Amino acid sequence: MIKHLALLSLLILIADNILAQGRVRQGKVLFRQCILCHGENAQGDITLGAPALVNQDAWYLERQLANIAAGVRSEDPSDFFGKRMSPNAKALKGQQAREDVVAYIKSLPPTKTRGLIKGNAEKGHEYYQMICGACHGPNAMGNKILNAPRLVGINDLYLKRQYLNFKDGIRGAHVNDKFGAQMAFIAQKLQGKNIAADVAVYIHSLQDQAENQNK
């Protein structure tokens, strides 16, 4: 009986591994439509408004693809870059396709993003620990339980743009975007002309520490 259970467990592990490999292979095919903007290694091209995907957690990538496909995100006429993403997300037919492409993205090696904006990292640290850290974590690594995505390793210009989108009601306004609405509420309450840039620059400075944690 014990031998049979051990064999069954082994067969399940082998089947899961084959399935996972198949998902990655299928995801690689699906990812071809993403390469033009996000790059062959999902490293992103911020000049095209395309963030580094490879550094983001799988659960958040899947949720955002689903939100964009459903029109919950990126439907505001003012969201220029989001509108360009919309048809690509909708081209992934169903949850399995989204899981496959994310599985492929997460099979790629992490990348280090380049800082593109100026800001005061010291002030950003103060703002971040006072306002953002409770949900996104003290090192900006995210917290799935709180539905707070990883921020470290995401392009600083992209982080700034998304914060301003939340603040301006471009993102998080849809009735079905419950977690986006929470972020929009916080962003709209924050004061300070340079807060977005300062926090984004501070988060960018955490990359080396995050790399050590990922080893």
Reported as a single tens digit per residue, the pLDDT across 88-120 is 999 999 999 999 999 999 999 999 999 999 999
Q: Shortest CA distance to 207 belongs to which of 86, 66, 113, 87?
A: 113
Which pLDDT value is given to residue 12? 34
The whole-number average pLDDT for the span 35-47 is 95
Which pLDDT value is given to residue 123? 96
For the ranges 17-21, 27-31, 162-166, 203-207, the lowest mean pLDDT is seen at: 17-21
Query: What does each C-alpha distance from 191 to 20, 50, 86, 126, 128 come to in angstroms?
Result: 46, 27, 31, 14, 13
Task: Say which residue the tokens 């974590």 belong to.
Answer: 137
Q: Shortest CA distance to 141 belongs to which of 199, 190, 202, 203?
A: 203
Which pLDDT value is given to residue 60? 97
Residue 10 binned pLDDT confidence (cut-offs 50, 70, 90):
very low
Which pLDDT value is given to residue 191? 81
The answer, yes or no, to whether residue 77 has pLDDT greater than 80, is yes
Which pLDDT value is given to residue 1? 53
Q: Which CATH number fits domain 2-214: 1.10.760.10, 3.40.720.10, 3.90.1150.10, 1.10.260.40?
A: 1.10.760.10
The whole-number average pLDDT for the span 168-188 is 95
Q: Please state at what angle helix 80-91 crosses helix 58-69, rounded to 10 degrees.
A: 90
Which pLDDT value is given to residue 14? 40
The answer, yes or no, to whether residue 82 has pLDDT greater than 70, is yes
The whole-number average pLDDT for the span 68-92 is 94
Which pLDDT value is given to residue 211? 58
The answer, yes or no, to whether residue 214 has pLDDT greater than 50, is no
Token code pair at residue 86:
């919309």
Which pLDDT value is given to residue 11? 38
The whole-number average pLDDT for the span 133-156 is 96
Q: Domain spans of the chain?
A: 2-214
The whole-number average pLDDT for the span 42-62 is 95
Residue 172 binned pLDDT confidence (cut-offs 50, 70, 90):
very high
Which pLDDT value is given to residue 6? 47
The answer, yes or no, to whether residue 41 has pLDDT greater than 50, is yes
Percent above pLDDT 90 for the chain? 81
